[in-house]
Structure 1
Amino acid sequence: MRPPTLNIFPSQPMHVEPSSTNNHKAATALVSSTTNNSSKRPSEPSMELANARNNAPSSGPETAKAIKREGNRKGPTSSNSEHEGPKTPDPKTLRRLAQNREAARKSRLRKKAYVQQLESSRIKLTQLEQELQRARTQGMFFGGILGGEQGLPVGISNISSEAAVFDMEYARWLEVHHRLMCELRAAVQEHLPENELRLYVDNCLAHYDEIMNLKGMVAKTDVFHLVSGLWKSPAERCFLWLGGFRPSELIKVILSQIEPLTEQQILGICGLQQSTQEAEDALSQGLEALNQSILDTIASDSLSCPPNMANYMGQMAVAMNKLSTLEGFVRQ
């Protein structure tokens, strides 16, 4: 209890006693107003929750309907794809695709072979330029000014210009031949398909055609250089001196290395060997007859002790004409 204080400004006249009944009513009204306020505040969240519950069922059917509509949209597509399944191309399309792949593969192989041919040609040209430059520095002149066009010896090596060029070309040919043989052996060991092996074999055959063309060219200008075999390696000259070269004998060596063969293949190889041997015998007989004829012409008395220069020149012309047939034997 606070001590009573002096009420300077009383709300009521001091001579009137406050009614206890009025005070009681005021207190009761104050308590009831407070109670009403407190009861209203908790009811507001409860009303919000009720509204949320009422709104939730209303939005639920709408969401379900939207999902159902979306499912109806996707439903036919998925069902159609399931019924259709993976499409299989028809045989005509498959055959066309296989043909396109095969054509593309063959095109790549042809391109590779063409690039290799260009590279080998470039290397060949470079080596030929180097050999010509080296020959010029050594004092040899190619071009026929010193009699090379007539087949006369030129330069310090006592061979014609065509023979010198042939020697350089043959040395280059041996290098390329070794490389091609290594590539062919590697392809055989890798068990490549038949069409790819055919490219390597065709390259080797074309390479042999090249050396045969070179021999044909030098046979027209200096057949003696070709027959002498001086352009060959020492090992090749040794074997030629021992037994000569017979293609029919070479076929026998190859035949033992390519077995097994079919009966038709064996018959074909035997026929080739027989025809080759017959051609060899004919060439050998003709060459022997030519050698004997030239020997008889040179050993005659008119050439050893020429009493008449006209007769001597006539006999020499006959011998030279006989030697001109040597080119035909070499070409055969």
Structure 2
Amino acid sequence: MFQKGTTIGSSLGSGHIENWGESGIGDNSQQTDTSTDVDTDDKNQVSFVSFLIFSLYIRLYVFVFCKSSALRRLAQNREAARKSRLRKKAYVQQLENSRLRLAQLEQELQRARQQGIFIATGVSGDIGHSVAGNGVLAFDLDYVHWVDEHQRLINDLRSAVNSSMGDNELRHLVDGVMAHYEEVFQLKSIGTKADVFHMLSGMWKTPVERCFMWLGGFRSSELLKVIGNHLEPLTDQQLMGICNLQQSSQQAEDALSQGMEALQQSLVDTLSASSLGPTSSGNVADYMGQMALAMGKLATLENFIHQADLLRQQTLQQMHRILTARQAARALLVINDYTSRLRALSSLWLARPRE
């Protein structure tokens, strides 16, 4: 019995122990699952909070970036508006200055015509071009003032020649007229840079004067011929000096004239190098290159006018050195009388009766 009971007890105990063990194992597994779920929830909560923080940072960054961009665009718009207002103000001021100078020029032209000093109609007829180029308008106005001042100096010089004024005082007046000629060459230099074709065409001169113009002015050799017929008897040395000056002036004029002819022929060759048909059917790149080459050649016109004015300036200076003070005064009066008669002839021609 004992053995059997022992056996049964052992078996019961054993069964109970086995059941208890299984229960313990089940409990332990449930506790482990619960702990794992808690850790996962915590991690999920941490990740969600991190996500929220990151999202807030992104939103804050986007807000700050957009705000700064808006402020930057606003500042740029304000700066652009300010510059636009300044440009508009400068443009209006420029128009106002042009209007005032135009009105002043018209008054000067009217006064000059009343005094018998004719100014070419091209100045007022081509007024749109003059307004477009303030340098040309300024030259036309300054040239009117120069003519007025030149006439005053010539009148003083004529009175001095007709009086018993000494050579020293007479030389002082001659130097004043020569210095005044220097001013017109400076004005022409500025006018040439503003519009070389305006100076080359001589639209600031009278029509008859333009008929005798050469490269924007008078021919030095022709002027020496006019002077030589009205001077007092010259010494042999003076006569030789005037002849040499006239010959050298003629040679320089011929060289410049040949240069102008060569430039014109070069422009003809350049512009006719390719087909003269519509540009749409040709090579646009070749056409633009052709125009650029022609523009570069046209730029040399300024140099031709500058060389011609330099020749005129040096001729007057050489003449002044060759002649005495009284002879130089007579020569300047002859030059003025010659140009005044050209202007008078222009006025008579324009006022002639027409059928």
- The residue that corresponds to 2:22 in the other structure is none
Aligned partner letter, 2:171: R
Q: Distance in 2 between matches of 1:137 and 1:199?
A: 33
Shift in Å, 1:302: 3.8
The answer to whether the aligner puts 1:240 opposite 2:190 as a matched pair is no
| 2: CA distance, partners of 1:320 / 1:227 | 16
| Displacement of 1:172 | 0.9
Q: CA deviation at 1:156?
A: 5.8
CA contact (8 A) 2:150 2:180 kept: yes
Pairwise mapping of residues 70-109 of structure 1 onto structure 2 (< 5 A)?
A: none
Give the secondary-structure state (helix, strand or coil) at the position aligned to 2:128: coil
Q: Is residue 294 from structure 1 mapped to residue 267 from structure 2 by the alignment?
A: yes
The one of 197, 213, 217 aligned to 1:224: 197
Compute the RMSD of aligned alpha carbons.
Answer: 2.5
Question: Who wins on radius of gyration, i.e. which is larger?
Answer: 1
Aligned-partner Cα distance in 2 for 1:292–1:202: 42
Give yes or no for contact 1:177–1:207 (8 Å, CA) kept in 2.
Answer: yes
User: Which one has a larger percent helix, Structure 1 or Structure 2?
Assistant: 2
Task: Figure out how many residues of one structure are paired with residues of the other and give that number.
Answer: 185
TM-score (norm 1): 0.52
Shift of 1:259: 2.3
- C-alpha distance in 1, partners of 2:162/2:305? 37
Distance 1:263 1:156 in 2: 51
Residues 155-202 of structure 1, C-alpha deviation per residue, up to 9 Å, x if partnerless? Answer: 962231100000001111111111111111111110311100011101
User: What's the CA shift string for 1:288-309, capped at 9, x where partnerless?
Assistant: 0001111222233345443111
Residues 302 and 311, structure 1, Cα contact 8 Å, conserved in 2: no
Q: Which runs of 5+ in 2 are unaligned?
A: 1-96, 106-125, 308-355
CA contact (8 A) 1:248 1:273 kept: yes
- Find the counterpart in structure 2 of residue 37 from structure 1: none
Q: CA deviation at 1:136?
A: 6.7
In the alignment, is the contact (CA less than 8 A) between 2:98 and 2:134 conserved in 1? Answer: no
1:165 alignment partner in structure 2: 138
Which amino acid in structure 1 is aligned with residue 296 of structure 2? N
| Equivalent-residue separation in structure 2 for 1:165 and 1:276 (angstroms) | 31
Q: Which runs of 5+ in 1 are unaligned?
A: 1-129, 139-154
Aligned to 1:191: 164
**Structure 1 residue corresponding to 2:294, chosen from 280, 298, 319:** 319
User: Alpha-carbon deviations, 1:119-156, whole Å to 9, x = none?
Assistant: xxxxxxxxxxx997342799xxxxxxxxxxxxxxxx96
Aligned to 2:310: none
1:303–1:315 CA contact under 8 A, matched in 2: no
Structure 2 residue matching 1:314: 3-state secondary structure: helix
**In the alignment, what sits opposite 2:303?**
328
1: CA distance, partners of 2:167 / 2:251: 33
In structure 1, how many angstroms separate the alpha carbons of the residues matched to 2:143 and 2:231? 28
If the length of structure 2 is used for normalisation, what is the TM-score?
0.49
The one-letter code of the counterpart of 2:301 is L
Q: Per chain length, whose mean CA-contact separation is higher, i.e. which structure has more relative contact order (CA < 8 Å, sep 6+)?
A: 2
Q: Are 1:207 and 2:174 matched, yes or no?
A: no
